[in-house]
Structure 1
Amino acid sequence: MNHDTLSDLLRTVRLQSAAFEVIADPAHACDTPCGGPLLMAMVLRGEALATVEGEADVLLRTGDLVLAPRGGVRITPQPGGTLVRGCLQHDAQAARLLIESWPRLLHLPAARCSPWMARLAGEAARGCGSQPAGSDVVLVRLAEALLAETVRLYFEELPDGAKGWLAGLRDRYVSRALAAMHDSPAHPWTVEELGHRVGLSRSALHDRFNQALGQPPNQYLARWRIQLGSRMLLETRRPVASIAEDVGYESEAAFSRAFKRMIGQPPASWRRDQVAREMVAS
């Protein structure tokens, strides 16, 4: 159940572009500005140093992979070291639920990485500087595979005391409530009904949700419905009214108000802007 729910959310994270670069000179560190793209890096040879503002430095060795979701991170190859860096431009709204649950630096030592991850990183490194037809699409798919596997492996050994969406999946009551909402997003869930379904009182489930995710179940459900709706807007040509019904809104107007409140635009105009942006990018 946990992994199905995790996959469900991972499918909503859309990478708009992925650019990779090989860095072997200590003078050319990888910096991640706050609010910028996701930074992914794997050490291909030797060592590198990850510096996080306000935290202890992390020494990276050959085969280690790091993901910096929110900026404020610098990764510097040490003398003799080489790394491949990926800048992953993503839909900030679609990725928000997942990224909020990550640390500022997500570090996977080489021993925890799947063997094929190093091969994919090597393919990205070999493709740097060449632009054959279709390469942009290939790099995005490659980056999405690396991103999904990184999150999956991180989830498997989530540290004690972790907070956020991934931590919620580790709680048997919260994870069952999340699965119910993901399985039937249009159902008019109440906290009381969810609590009854997972075997907790209304107040106990409310408290566990707040502790793990930092938000109550009804707020999470509202965000999940909008995130699911945004994916449908991008991946289908269905009318807004049909999508609104599928994600649990009684009318197109109610969905549009909720969508604008969360995303900043009505769904129809947001869809047009996203389609136009993708056409320009391609």
Structure 2
Amino acid sequence: MTDPLAEVVGLLQPGARFSKVVAGAGDWRVRRADAGLPFYVVVLEGACRLTVDGQPPLDLQAGDFALVPASLPFTTSSAGPAAANLPLTLPERLADGSYRVGNADGPVDVRLLVGHCSFGSPDAALLVSLLPQLMHVRGEPRLTALVRLLIDETGAERPARDEVLARLLEVLLIEALRCAAGTAASPGLVRGLADVRLAAALRRLHEAPAQAWTVASLAREAALSRSAFFERFNRAVGVAPMSYLLAWRMALARRLLRDESLGVADVAERVGYSSASTFSVAFTRHVGQPPARYARSA
């Protein structure tokens, strides 16, 4: 059976960009408005608060993992609402390579692993739009074990370190998405898969993207009426069913044009278009250039 999460993560091509351990003492507040990269934080001990623009504040505790897949502005701070009025600061790098925020001389009350990952796919923005804007996972021992491996590999200088980090990060991302499917995630693919009815339709769509899907045929896969399916899908995934299908077809088309020795007509057929001309019009509108030119440039 096709696994939509694994497909999306595989196309994203996640890589380990940067990570650091940050210790905090007392009250502090750090904001990132222009990082431009997906951000994650793991609370190793203590507690803190994460506020992503447009989302309610999220109080994190030891063992929690949070991921912001899109490049959204966010603020991390000491736990509790009082930090909201504090002046902004930056973490200070210490001699041992770790970082510190808050009271430089006070006892450490929170320790975090924070970092940025990169998505190597040219379709990263499109694929990230299928994910929740914020994922939060709590109480998952498997995730904690993966994070410990990531920390260990980050601090070592072993052969093939970057390749191992990239694989660990990919597994971590899949595990976080899988865990988040059972939580109240913001709208996106994860939340859609947490709904048993919608998951049936999403898996069929991913199994056969070239099929002539309609809202009515997808609704039948979900055993829902057309109107109930449309409303439920829109609310859970954050986009209309046909918009999701188009986004997924275009992501597949770009991969095929980049990686396969296929003509435009063959790619069109594989992603569900009856003719090369119809596909070319849709691809050009969505990507900004004709598929033949995109293939040459890729």
TM-score (norm 2): 0.72
Q: Deviations along 1:233-269, whole A, 9 cap, x unmatched?
A: 4444444432222111233443333223223333455
Q: Which residue pairs with 2:123 in the alignment?
A: 93
Give 1:277's aligned residue.
none
Alignment of 1:217-256 (within 5 A): 217-256=241-280
Percent identity for Structure 1 against Structure 2: 32
- 1:75 maps to a residue whose letter is T
Q: 3-state DSSP class of the match of 1:260?
A: helix
Q: Show the 5 A alignment for 1:180-195.
A: 180-195=204-219
Structure 2: distance between partners of 1:101 and 1:156:
14
Greater relative contact order (Cα < 8 A, sep 6+): 2
Aligned residue in 2 for 1:121: 147
How far apart in 2 are the matches of 1:198 and 1:55? 30
Structure 1 residue 96 displacement after superposition: 3.6
CA distance 1:108–1:245, shift in 2 (3 Å): same
2:74 paired with 1:73: yes
**Any stretches of 5+ residues in structure 2 without a counterpart?**
78-100
CA separation of 1:15 and 1:177: change in aligned 2, threshold 3 A: same
1:50 aligns with 2:50: yes
2:11 matched to which residue of 1? 12
Distance 1:55 1:186 in 2: 36
Match of 1:208 in 2: 232
Number of paired residues? 267
Residue 23 of structure 1: aligned partner? 22
Specify whether residues 93 and 30 from structure 1 end up closer, same or farther in structure 2 by C-alpha distance, changes over 3 A only.
farther
Point out where structure 1 has 5 or more consecutive residues left out of the alignment: 275-282
* 1:153 equivalenced with 2:179 (yes/no): yes
The structure having more radius of gyration, on CA atoms, is: 2
Equivalent-residue separation in structure 1 for 2:169 and 2:207 (angstroms): 27
Name the one with the larger helix percent.
1
Between the aligned partners of 2:297 and 2:35, the Cα distance in structure 1 is 20
2:167 matched residue in structure 1:
141
CA contact under 8 A between 2:40 and 2:68: conserved in structure 1? yes
Whichever residue aligns with residue 93 of structure 1, its letter is D
Distance 2:190 2:159 in 1: 37
TM-superposed CA distance for 1:149, in Å, is 0.6
- Kindly tell me: are residues 44 and 170 of structure 1, through their superposed partners in 2, closer, same or farther at Cα, counting changes over 3 Å? closer
Say whether the 8 Å CA contact 1:228–1:247 is kept in structure 2.
yes
| Contact 1:32 1:39 (8 Å CA) reproduced | no
- 1:6 deviates by 3.3
Following the alignment from structure 1 to structure 2, what is the Cα–Cα distance between the partners of residues 126 and 85? Answer: 14
Deviation (angstroms), 1:223: 1.5
Q: Give yes or no for contact 1:41–1:86 (8 Å, CA) kept in 2.
A: yes
Q: CA deviation at 1:154?
A: 0.7
Instruction: Work out whether 1:82 is the aligned partner of 2:111.
Output: yes
Q: Structure 1 residue 102: deviation in Å? A: 1.5
2:187 maps to which of 145, 156, 163: 163
Q: How far apart are residue 138 of structure 1 and its match?
A: 1.8
Shift of 1:186: 1.0
Residues 12 and 124, structure 2, Cα contact 8 Å, conserved in 1: yes
Residues 22 and 189 of structure 1, relative CA distance in 2, 3 Å threshold: same
What secondary structure is seen at the aligned counterpart in 2 of 1:12?
Answer: helix
Alpha-carbon deviation of 1:225? Answer: 0.8
Quote the residue 2:284 is aligned against.
Answer: 260
Deviations 1:37-94 (A, max 9, x none): 1111212334443244466544433322111233222335675233222211124734
